[in-house]
Amino acid sequence: MLKFGKRITFRPLIISLAFGIAFGMFGNELANPSIGFITGVFFFLLILLGYYWGTSKTLFNYWEVNQDTVNYRDNDNASNRLLMLIFPTFLNLKTFSKKDIQSVSINGNFNLKQMPFALIYNAGLGMFSGAISMTNNQVSLSVTLKNGQKIKLDISRDIIYNKKETIEKLNQFLDGLDSDVTINNYSHGSNNVRLSF
């Protein structure tokens, strides 16, 4: 089984709650319980919806390839992403057969862009450095099924953390498709993925 991306866990919810509680207690000490409650809810929603909900398409894009099927998490729907953050185990992976694939296109560039050194780097920015790198280096597969459905399978996280292994897994996946599947931006049968951006 080939695995790509990262599974969603309770971590976003726990981090959002921790920030909400910490700032809520601070607001309570500074003013009163009402201000503390409002401050806590504000920071909880800011982290959960402002950061995690907006970046969940890139951060939590888990998909896996079995011998005959591809299982993926549908992150395109905004309500699915919200449910995924609150109830990480609630949404099941969707599945399609490898035999149903009509074409695959590789979108993006495998030449990684580095974060500028002029950017002031501190512990606060360090928390977001992975998300910043993934946003600057978007790489995905656009899969078109024979019924016309289009599915985006993101590999940005894998490229950032282990480019060589990701290319090997990607080659293994693409080489395992039927010979009548159209593959764009790929040198079939080689260990070199060629992209045009």
pLDDT surpassing 50 at residue 197: no
Of 75-89, 103-117, 122-136, highest mean pLDDT: 75-89
pLDDT band at 188 (very low <50, low <70, confident <90, very high): very low
Instruction: Flag whether 3 is in a domain.
Output: no
Query: Residue 90: exposed, middle, or buried by beta-carbon count in 10 A (0-12, 13-18, 19+)?
Result: exposed
Separation between Cα atoms, residue 163 and residue 156, nearest integer Å: 9
Q: What's the whole-number mean pLDDT along residues 90-107?
A: 90
Average pLDDT over all residues of the chain: 83
pLDDT band at 100 (very low <50, low <70, confident <90, very high): very high
Residue range 115-169, pLDDT digits in tens: 555 555 555 555 555 565 555 667 889 999 999 999 999 888 888 888 889 888 9
More confident residue, 134 or 23: 23
Residue range 121-132, pLDDT digits in tens: 555 555 555 565
Q: What's the whole-number mean pLDDT along residues 77-81?
A: 85
Q: What is the DSSP letter of 150?
A: E
Instruction: Flag whether 98 is in a domain.
Output: yes
More confident residue, 195 or 94: 94
Q: What's the whole-number mean pLDDT along residues 10-30?
A: 94
Instruction: Flag whether 142 is in a domain.
Output: yes
Which two three-digit tokens encode residue 102? 């009509």
Instruction: Flag whether 175 is in a domain.
Output: yes
Structural domain harbouring 146: 67-76+85-184
Instruction: Flag whether 167 is in a domain.
Output: yes
Instruction: Flag whether 12 is in a domain.
Output: no
Which two three-digit tokens encode residue 47? 């982290």
Question: Total domain count for the chain?
Answer: 1
* Beta-strand runs (E) in 17-78: 63-65, 69-72
Q: What percent of the chain has pLDDT over 70?
A: 80
Instruction: Flag whether 19 is in a domain.
Output: no
Instruction: Flag whether 29 is in a domain.
Output: no
Return the amino acid letter for 126. Answer: G
